[in-house]
Amino acid sequence: MTTETNLLTADDLLRLHSKGVRGELIQGVLCETMSTGVEHGEIVMELGRHLGNFVVPRRLGRLIGSDSGIRLERAPDTVREPDVAFISADRMPLGERITAYSDVVPDLVVEIVSPNDDSDNVFNKARMWLSFGVRLVWVVQPETRSVEVHRSGAAVVVVREDGQLDGLDVLPGFTCPVASIFGS
């Protein structure tokens, strides 16, 4: 006996979102997501504030949050939601209005580990972003108050609470004390 799965499209996912269903698509299969809690939201806002204070006045690009969605594959569609993402103005013009999901892969993705996340899944998600062309992935670990820095072809670097995040060649000149994203 076989079971046939109806694959969803990015348009289907947008319609579901308008009805209160929250999730991502992985090769057409809906993976519902849950609210992540206050700590997670505070970290998103703090890191977004630091990035925004650097990116916006310099008109370097666009910052987006998790509900925005990035379409990574078509037929079947894959739409993932980074917690925070930066896309350079060279790749996505600042004045361009986009009402659906972006087809432009971010330059930087931030994933914040939630209490219900499995560490292997988060590591694999960071590697997935890199496989689609993201240049820099920061995985924020609230439990250890640290950030894992992922780059294609490089070992993972862990920046502890007393260290500084660096935008490297993705956001040259950007630095941020890790402690500050945890409200310290």
Residue 78's pLDDT is 93
SS3 assignment, position 165: strand
Give the pLDDT of the chain (184 residues) as one tens digit per residue: 545 568 999 999 989 888 888 888 899 999 888 777 888 889 999 999 999 999 999 999 999 987 789 999 999 999 999 999 999 999 998 988 888 889 999 999 999 998 888 878 889 999 999 999 999 999 999 999 999 999 999 999 999 999 999 999 999 999 999 999 997 6
Cβ–Cβ under 8 Å, residues 10 and 23: no
Q: What is the pTM of this model?
A: 0.91
CA distances from 152 to 32, 34, 45, 67, 133 (A): 28, 29, 26, 25, 9
Kindly report the number of other CB atoms within 10 A of residue 100's CB atom. 13
Q: Which residues contact 127 (CB under 8 A, 6 or more apart)?
A: 150
Q: Domains in the chain, start-ordered, CATH in brackets?
A: 37-68+79-181 (3.90.1570.10)
User: In 10-84, which ranges are continuous DSSP H helix?
Assistant: 10-18, 38-58
